[in-house]
A = this chain, B = another copy of it.
Amino acid sequence: MSSLHPHRYFSAENAPLAHELYQTVADLPLVCPHGHVDPRLFSDPDYRFGSPTELFLIPDHYIFRMLYSQGIRLEELAVPRQDGGATEGDHRKAWQKFAEHYYLFRGTPTGIWLKEAFADLFDLMEPLNGENAQAVYDLMAERLDSADLHPRPLFDRFNIEVLCTTDAATDTLEHHQAIRDSGWHGRILPTFRPDAVVNLDTENWRDNIDQLSDVSGVDVIDYPSFVQALEQRRSFFKQMGATATDHAALTAHSARLSDAEAARIFQAALQGKITAESATQFTAHMLNEMARMSVEDGLVMQLHVGSYRNHNADIFAKFGRDKGADIPITTEFTRNLRPLLNRYANDPNFKLIFFNLDETTYARELAPLAGHYPAVKLGPPWWFHDSLNGMRRYFDQVMETAGLYNTAGFNDDTRAYPSIPARHTVWRRASADWVAGLISQHIVSESEGAEMVQALAYDLAKSAYNL
């Protein structure tokens, strides 16, 4: 990345000081406590990325949603259909479309990550466009064959200290086992994500429960055995190195049911007689139950709320989930989470990390909650807000009330492995820029600022996730 500007992403007025601060953390290892990289990249020593289109375009809904928003059909971009419909088979053609519309990413975080990755991995400095599309494709395809761009060598090149994946409660973690067995030195840890069994309205929920019985060895026939199976899986994940769980919910609603009521709803679900209302209640209840287990087993609990998934029915029917059609909604924490927080969050050994897409809650609810309850930490700006402006708004709205030390550092939350260094670079530079501003306003001293930048770049994430 030597040829990208050394002062990039710094505000003009902070640039020299921000640069100085950034230099002190630029080479620290990357701590990646939450993300969606497929462990197969590392379990299979011969894993290859495929074509440039397979590496950058097809799996990345940040990219193809923007092209789709401008009228380019996903089929033209070689995104596979789940309903059996035809899609473009020629990756070069899809790449050409992408290249012709690369200008759409001006000023976006995706544009920044692409630029960083192109420069870092391929020494490409020129913006992609219709003219250079095929030459770039050739160059990339050739480079992707070379051994230094395979996943394991990249892990070292990226200077990753630890990378956590996200895995279904029913996952056997065979790929994690294979990584361990291989003797490779990379530290890849699983994370326990039980959404597909605790959210009763998940597609194929009944199948997931059967699978849960299989992998846990606990025959899930009622609510108590369901809880027991979950506890078994948590224990197994912990053995396999997991330090955290992850939970996604539409809202932060957390009312605890009586065990009898929970059992009744679960039974109805087993019989396929679940209402939307009951499913919502059960999810709210299970958040409490998961908090209880975290207090007991020490796994850090992550909560991601506020995404209305699969908003576009037509796209969902044709292409399935995660196609750039998830739209945030307003979120409420103060009242919704009170039952859970009152019950568990006074325990300083419990850690509960929030992620959220409704920035209005930053200063109003999340920072005051994190600035009071011992268990509560705030995760970094999530998804659409994992961007320079998103980070600035986060620093601006969270830090004064929550305090830096109630935040959880950074995580890249990505399935796009090659974008990991870029994402950390943006965070570290934004952090340095923010702290430089505090110093230049004489709010903190230079030595305090240096410690804060180090905390943001490395320490906070490591400690929040017990890594």
A contact residues vs B (CB 8 Å cutoff): 4-5, 7-14, 65-66, 68-71, 103-109, 111-112, 127, 308, 311-315, 324-330, 332, 334-335, 338, 341-342, 346, 348, 357-360, 363-365, 367-374, 376, 384-385, 387-390, 393, 396-397, 399-401, 403-406, 437-438, 440-445, 448, 451-452
The complex is assembled from copies of this chain, and their number is: 3
Q: What's the minimum C-beta distance from A348 to chain B, rounded to whole angstroms?
A: 3
Q: What's the minimum C-beta distance from A31 to chain B, rounded to whole angstroms?
A: 20
Q: Which listed residue (B65, B334, B360, B443) contacts A371, Cβ 8 A?
A: B65
Q: Cβ of A66 and Cβ of B371 under 8 Å apart?
A: yes
Q: Which residue, of A5, A400, A451, has the highest number of chain B Cβ atoms within 10 A?
A: A400
Q: Which listed residue (B324, B370, B444) contacts A106, Cβ 8 A?
A: B444
Q: What's the minimum C-beta distance from A13 to chain B, rounded to whole angstroms?
A: 4
Q: Which listed residue (B312, B328, B334, B367) contacts A373, Cβ 8 A?
A: B312
Q: Cβ of B384 and Cβ of A363 under 8 Å apart?
A: yes
Q: Which listed residue (B8, B360, B369, B441) contacts A11, Cβ 8 A?
A: B441
Q: Which listed residue (B106, B327, B363) contacts A369, Cβ 8 A?
A: B327
Complex formed: what's the CA distance from A308 to B372 in Å? 13
With A5-B442, A387-B400, A448-B106 in contact, do A68 and B372 touch (Cβ < 8 Å)? yes
With A11-B441, A108-B401, A400-B388 in contact, do A359 and B370 touch (Cβ < 8 Å)? no
Q: Which residues of B contact A387 (CB under 8 A)?
A: 400-401
Q: Cβ of B364 and Cβ of A403 under 8 Å apart?
A: no
With A4-B442, A374-B70, A448-B127 in contact, do A108 and B400 touch (Cβ < 8 Å)? yes
Q: Cβ of A8 and Cβ of B443 under 8 Å apart?
A: yes
Complex formed: what's the CA distance from A388 to B359 in Å? 19
Complex formed: what's the CA distance from A112 to B445 in Å? 12
Q: Which residues of B contact A342 (CB under 8 A)?
A: 311-314
Q: Cβ of B334 and Cβ of A372 under 8 Å apart?
A: no
Q: Cβ of B10 and Cβ of A441 under 8 Å apart?
A: yes
CB<8 Å pairs between A and B, sample of 20 = A4-B442, A12-B14, A71-B348, A103-B405, A104-B405, A106-B403, A106-B444, A107-B400, A107-B444, A108-B399, A308-B334, A311-B338, A312-B341, A312-B346, A312-B373, A327-B334, A329-B364, A330-B360, A359-B360, A389-B397
With A13-B11, A314-B346, A346-B314 in contact, do A399 and B327 touch (Cβ < 8 Å)? no
